[in-house]
Structure 1
Amino acid sequence: MLLPESKRGEIPPEMARAVHWLESASLALTDLNDAKAVRLALDALALRLDGQAASANSVRRKRAVLHHVLEYAVELEELPSNPLHKIKWTPPKTTETVDPRMVINPRQAEELLTAVSYVGKRGRGRRLVALFACMYYAALRPGEAVALREQDCNLPATGWGRLLVDVSRPEVKTKWTDSGDAHEQRGLKHRGRDDVRPVPIPPALVKILRQHIKEFGIGSDGRIFHSERGGVIASTAYTEVWQEARTLAFTPAQVASPLARRPYDLRHAAVSLWLNAGVPAPDVAERAGHGVDVLLRVYAKCVDGQQEIANRRIDDALAA
């Protein structure tokens, strides 16, 4: 309904009244030169439809959209300048750091992967063990793991292997994709369309992937992970299995806690493990597909035991 008139086509009669209301209730673009109108807009996007305060991340995203719209209006010379720059309005603070309570240790990761294998009938859980293992041992995002192909994997009989990650298939609503597929293929997050991210993988993951391929085979398009019918594995499917596995592997208190609450938390556990093992931040960032600055900011609370090391180094420097 908000398309240009030349592209709108026929408006269904049942929607005509709503469109008319939108047109009559909308402000003229030039009205946004008034600081009062802009402040009202900022205050509105800080609320949910029920009038309660929106989350800080939602407010940040909506403000960013409003800012880009107004910048475009300036570019088209519909506005002399971006009126947001005139407003002293402080958005709620967002939490970017990973909660260390989400992070599992290696023993808990092994127990969870074992529990996954016991979930469901006809190998439903077993089919997903290697998918979750890629998130933990290689810090793959779920969309990257789902898109992994046999040709992307170097899986030697012994020793370390390597994954070449170059595509992602994040799950979104079909109306937001060009193909109408909920798992449209895209480039890597924060990277150019043709970028490739090499990820060394430990022997444990090499073994898991080799066993998975032997048991379940490869999809018709070369993907390692596919549903029983050959389709892309939906997030709802692997999330249901994950939640059931948590109840098998954890105590009731742990189940109620944030510990590994989502499959994505396996990636957080992997990156935290690497940092705490002393792997240099640039190397961790390269493997995980982060910028170094983002990595250190997001995982600042998950780096443990480094204070004593720093203290010893300072003592050594002072004594030199």
Structure 2
Amino acid sequence: MNTSYDVKFWEIQRRTDRKTSAFLVRWTVARKPKSKTFRTKGLADSFLSDLRQAAKRGEAFDLATGLPLSMLESEPSGPSFLAFAQSYVLRRWRTSAARTRETDAYALLTLVPALVADVPGRPDAEEVRQALRSHALLPEDRRTELPREQAAALAWLEKASLPMSALGEAGTLRLALDAIAVTFGGKTAGANTVRRKRGVLHHLLEQAVEQKLFTTNPLDEIKWTPPKAVTVVDPRTVVSPAQARQLLDAVPKVGRKRGARLKALFACVYYAALRPEEAADLRQKNCTLPESGWGLLILERARPQATKRWTDNGQTHESRRLKHRADKETREIPIPPVLVAILREHIEAYDVAEDGRVFRTETGGSYSSSAYSYVWQEARRLAFTPTQVASSLGARPYDLRHAAVSLWLNAGVPAPEVAKRAGHSVDVLLRVYAKCIDGQQDHINGKINDALE
């Protein structure tokens, strides 16, 4: 335990940024700021008096908690951050999707190793993360036996992990926020990554409030501005109808068979605005494909990809309810004749999987994101000019969905109907997807020019 005799105290501060009265006790230990909030002035006075009396007696103060040793021994520390993080993951496991579990764990891989005391023998950072990833942050029946180095790393972490009570201090929370702002390699983390990790920390502390470890969420008291994340579609990524057709025509030319088997999947993303995970679980029974005219897709489930350790079935793909929908809730999407024809040809050529899935590998499995992303990049090289290939135009298969929704909006389809087909709220639709498609700028400029004449 690291201690110091360098202690300074500040006057009690009344908090005016809360609905109820609150009083903040502030002090420093070895120049590190510490604080604790109380609901009444009397409690704050009593606590500050205890600290001052300990300092007068010449007691050492603990650097991690900021408390004198006599108070530290009597202070109920509660669970460690590691122990609470483990219980947090387990409480959410049954009701969370695999990707949500993975997001929680990824944030905790950053936070748990950062919120530790200065205990000698700190192990290699990657050994600590691996011990968390494959053991500590999984249910007991999914844990692997740890190699000697990782077992030692976990033992150190259990000893060093700060008590949850330490997260009531501004300095500790600042330490956590600093940690999520960088990658494991020490570089500045992306804005979306930082926001996701901060969201996990906030939700974890909300559960700590529910369990009476804190009276309010201490993270709400930290003045911290998250990095600005991109939440709108970049118009430069959105392909025009002509470009989409060029790409879809190029897909079958990739590889001997894989490209041909994937054309209809990409067509579903473009013509029906399906998410790739929704196309992956599309069943023949979900498709109404008349010989002529418009058809209909009735989506029931999605088939997202995740790391095996986080899925219920232990496979990389598992069928789950639709995004933003209740279990067994469906979504109906009318599809144009061009997509009807493509799906009919696909089913006739390749049949369907045993469970009725329209899109399957030759062995009946699901395509990995890396597999269809490779085909997509090769199709871009065949369909686009070198300048376009180097640009962000249609850079990802998901950009076909952006193009579809933008096309519908620009064609004058009412926003509520577009949102219904795309599986979004109207608010999200207008904020994220209402963008012009590539190739319309000359037409729009011409209309403006006509108006100016």
TM surpasses 0.5: yes
CA distance in 1, matches of 2:146, 2:295: 57
> 1:146 aligned to 2:280?
yes
- Contact 1:98–1:302 under 8 Å retained in 2: no
- Aligned residues between the structures: 309
Shift, 1:27, TM fit: 1.1
Amino acid at match of 1:270: A
> 1:225 aligned to 2:354?
no
- Contact 1:99–1:302 under 8 Å retained in 2: no
Which residue of the other structure, out of 266, 269, 279, is the alignment partner of 1:135?
Answer: 269
CA displacement, residues 187-225 of structure 1 (integer Å, 9 cap, x when unaligned): 111111111000000000000000111111111110111
CA distance in 2, matches of 1:216, 1:252: 33
CA displacement, residues 6-35 of structure 1 (integer Å, 9 cap, x when unaligned): 959986544332012212332111111111
Comparing 164-173 with 2-11, greater Cα deviation is found at 2-11
Tell me the residue number matched to 1:243: 377
CA distance in 2, matches of 1:13, 1:247: 48
| Residues 112 and 11 of structure 1: CA distance in aligned 2, closer, same or farther (over 3 Å) | closer
Q: Which has the higher contact order (CA 8 A, sep 6+)?
A: 1
CA distance in 2, matches of 1:215, 1:19: 53
Secondary structure of 1:302 counterpart: coil
Secondary structure of 1:57 counterpart: helix
Secondary structure of 1:156 counterpart: coil
Amino acid at match of 1:168: A
Shift, 1:257, TM fit: 0.4
Which structure has the highest strand share of the two?
A: 2
CA distance in 2, matches of 1:154, 1:227: 23
Shift, 1:50, TM fit: 2.4
Shift, 1:157, TM fit: 0.7
> 1:15 aligned to 2:150?
yes
Identity of aligned residues (%): 58
CA distance in 2, matches of 1:217, 1:92: 48
- Contact 1:118–1:125 under 8 Å retained in 2: yes
- Contact 2:406–2:435 under 8 Å retained in 1: no
Which residue of the other structure, out of 58, 64, 69, is the alignment partner of 2:193?
Answer: 58
Amino acid at match of 2:363: R
| Residues 162 and 67 of structure 1: CA distance in aligned 2, closer, same or farther (over 3 Å) | same
> Between Structure 1 and Structure 2, whose CA radius of gyration is higher?
2
Secondary structure of 2:431 counterpart: helix
CA distance in 1, matches of 2:427, 2:398: 20
Tell me the residue number matched to 1:124: 258
CA displacement, residues 72-116 of structure 1 (integer Å, 9 cap, x when unaligned): 111111222210111111100111000000111111111111100
> 1:288 aligned to 2:288?
no
TM-score, scaled relative to structure 2 = 0.65
Amino acid at match of 1:282: P
| Residues 307 and 78 of structure 1: CA distance in aligned 2, closer, same or farther (over 3 Å) | farther
Secondary structure of 2:200 counterpart: helix
Amino acid at match of 2:302: S
Secondary structure of 2:301 counterpart: coil
Shift, 1:239, TM fit: 1.0
- Contact 1:171–1:235 under 8 Å retained in 2: yes
The CA RMSD over aligned residues, in Å, is 2.3
Tell me the residue number matched to 1:74: 209
Amino acid at match of 1:165: L
Which residue of the other structure, out of 149, 167, 170, is the alignment partner of 2:304?
Answer: 170
- Contact 2:406–2:434 under 8 Å retained in 1: no
Tell me the residue number matched to 1:191: 325
Gaps of 5+ in 2: 1-81, 88-135, 449-453
Secondary structure of 1:259 counterpart: coil
Gaps of 5+ in 1: 312-320
Comparing 287-296 with 298-307, greater Cα deviation is found at 298-307
Tell me the residue number matched to 2:235: 100
| Residues 233 and 11 of structure 1: CA distance in aligned 2, closer, same or farther (over 3 Å) | closer
CA distance in 1, matches of 2:299, 2:261: 21
CA distance in 2, matches of 1:157, 1:56: 48
Amino acid at match of 1:210: R
Secondary structure of 2:322 counterpart: coil
